[in-house]
Copies of this chain bind each other. A is one copy, B any other.
Amino acid sequence: MNLRELSAQLGLSQTTVSRALNGFPEVSEETRARVRAAAELHGYRPSAAARRLATGQSGTLGLVFPDERNLLGDLLFTEFLGGCVEKASELSYDITLGMAHGSQSEEAVYRRAVRNARVDAMILSSPLIADPRPALLRQLGMPFIIHGRTQSAEPFGFLDIDNEGAFFAAAKLLADLGHRRVALLNGEKSYNFAADRERGFRAALGLRGIAVREDFIPAAPMVEQTGLREAGRLLQLPLAERPTAFVCSSIGEAQGVRRACNAAGLKIGRDVALIAHDDRIHDMGAENFDPPLTATQSSIGDAGRRVVELCIAMLQSPNDPMPAEIWPADLVVRASTMPAP
């Protein structure tokens, strides 16, 4: 059943039926009710393709798989994506995915998505400090929103968590517990969130007059392997030099740190303090860590939901100021932190 048939049934014009269904004011409530009932009765569903053609809007948001694929990154992306999809479907939007394949560069993926005009806007995740995508998309005329932030000169809408504040709080807690040798196992330096976290970390220690050893801040993918390797390395330092506390950018890394501690016969929460950022991924909550983990936490799934809301709002009111939302990440103290030995 299409619009023409439905309006014929009702003895109304397509205009009126279309407007009745889309909530336009210039149609009487009585007619609207009649139209709605008939639409319901006949199971009428407007054709998405026809609407797209007529309006020039696709009702679709695009997201591109990060090109750095690893275990934890995939989990974070999936959790974020799940949030996006959930909210999008609630708001009758679709999410479509892009991905570089073979020799195709990431830029080509974005170009392709834009040229084909299949999406109304794109959601950028995992932004780099110097990320080429905002400039590219602006030049191509494609609206976008960033989950995170970047140093781009372009204006952009974004939703981010307060990484700097969170890691400031974490480092400050450790300093206040008397820890003087604190390591930061961070993500790759090129990511904006990693830079923010490092800045917060350094600021807190600086505030307490603690010098930061550069080799205490290695940067590598946020996987367990990294935690194991780097913590293992640091724990081999002489007793008076080795860190008494670790801050990790992910719970995966924290698991690696725990394994390194186990191997060194050290116990977390007794011999070594540990704080990690907790993105609230399924089955990886800091509260289930052994021991329960002190963590800065913020749900990346919630962020996905909110990003989609903001993005759609942006599309619907292009003249409103761009969204710029920064969520605090609470520091939840659990059993993995204790005063310095």
A contact set with B: CB distance below 8 Å: 43, 45, 47-50, 52-53, 56, 58, 60, 65, 69-71, 74-75, 77-79, 81-82, 85-87, 89-90, 94-99, 101-102, 109, 112, 115-118, 223, 225, 281-284
Chain copies in the assembled complex: 2
Contact sample, A vs B, 11 pairs, CB 8 Å cutoff? A47-B53, A48-B58, A52-B53, A69-B82, A71-B75, A82-B99, A86-B99, A89-B98, A89-B112, A96-B97, A223-B283
Q: A65 CA to B89 CA in the complex, in Å?
A: 12
Q: Cβ of A109 and Cβ of B89 under 8 Å apart?
A: yes
Chain B nearest CB, measured from A40 CB (Å): 12
A99: B residues at CB distance < 8 A: 82, 85-86, 89
Knowing A70-B283, A71-B283 touch, does A117 contact B48 (C-beta < 8 A)?
yes
Which among B48, B79, B87 is the interface contact of A118 at CB below 8 angstroms?
B48
- Residues of B with C-beta under 8 A to A60: 96
- Cα distance A115–B45 in the bound complex, in angstroms: 7
Assess whether B94 is in contact with A118, with CB atoms less than 8 Å apart.
yes
Q: Could you tell me the distance between the alpha carbons of A284 and B70 in the complex, rounded to whole angstroms?
A: 9
Minimal beta-carbon separation of A117 from chain B (angstroms): 6
Q: A96-B60, A117-B47 are in contact. Are A281 and B71 (CB under 8 A)?
A: yes
A171, chain B: closest CB distance, angstroms: 28
B-side contacts of A109, CB under 8 Å: 89
Residues on the B chain within 8 Å of A98, using CB? 85, 89
Complex contacts, A49 vs chain B, CB 8 Å: 49, 52-53, 56, 58, 117
- A118 partner residues in chain B, CB cutoff 8 A: 48, 94
In the assembled complex, the CB of A151 is this many whole angstroms from the nearest CB of chain B, namely 29
A129 smallest CB distance to B (angstroms)? 24
Quick one: closest B residue to A53, CB to CB? B49
Residues of B within 8 A of A90 (CB): 101-102
Closest-CB distance, A72 to chain B (whole angstroms):
8
